[in-house]
Amino acid sequence: MTTPRDLLIITMDASSGRSVEQGNLSLALAGAELIDLIDAQALTLDGDGIVPAAPRTMGDRLLDEAAASLTRQAPYEPIEDWLWRRGRDLAAAYLAALEAEGQVDRPRHRWNPIRTGPAVWGDASARRRASDRWTSGEPVLAGLAAAAGIRDEPTEEVTGLADEAVVTVLAAVHDAVTELEAVRQRRSIENAAFDNIWRGP
């Protein structure tokens, strides 16, 4: 399993009790991919630039896609640009891919076979592994979960991470999510002002 898949399992777990914005989750999944690629030595960071290593197979189709999409010529892509580019609709792409693999199931209603219920993770061992990382407060997963909105704040373990590259990615994910929230608020204000114009005094 990979960190993005573990993050998706935690998000899908009804016990989290939170509604997660798809945009936030997509940015966090893109960050999780970067962290796994760093761990696999498929890339390094030069400041905030993503420097790919020699192409390699990651053993996971979605991570392979992520590695293949890296910019391989200077000037290298900044982390923030990667998050926005790779993160576009990434949550939906992960869910669709996992459904196609048979890892995730959407139960269908007997009386309406077109309508589906919430996605359910079918692999018990994968869910157990993700749950173990979550309950132990594993710093990387905890930091990504905080960015996605699954928990309020990163744990102390996150602030104590020694891997500078991972810390840089986590900080970039949090900044991107904050920027996305600012865009949402601006649009909400603009829409409210537009509605007021049409309603009149």
- Return the percentage of the chain with pLDDT > 90, whole number: 46
Higher pLDDT, 138 or 77: 77
Pair 177, 31: CB distance under 8 Å: no
Under DSSP, is residue 170 helix (H, G, I), strand (E, B) or coil?
helix
Which range (116-125, 147-156, 180-189) has the least confidence? 116-125
Output the pTM of the full model: 0.83
Pair 89, 31: CB distance under 8 Å: no
**DSSP track, 82-95:** HHHHHHTTHHHHHH
- Return the percentage of the chain with pLDDT > 70, whole number: 75
Q: Residue 161 is encoded by which pair of tokens?
A: 């991470």
Residue for token digits 């007021």? Answer: 196
Maximum Cα interatomic distance, the chain, rounded to a whole number of Å: 63
Burial class (CB in 10 A: 0-12, 13-18, 19+), 111: exposed
88 pLDDT more than 70: yes
pLDDT digits (tens, 9 = 90+) for 26-76: 999 999 999 999 999 999 999 999 999 998 899 899 999 999 999 998 899
6 confidence band (pLDDT: 50, 70, 90) = very high
Question: What are the phi and psi torsion angles at 128 (to 5°)?
Answer: -65, -40
The predicted pLDDT at position 182 comes to 84
The predicted pLDDT at position 119 comes to 60
Residue count of the chain: 201
pLDDT digits (tens, 9 = 90+) for 103-149: 776 655 455 444 445 566 666 788 888 889 888 888 899 899 999 88
Q: How far is CA 195 from CA 89, 186, 191, in A?
A: 28, 14, 6
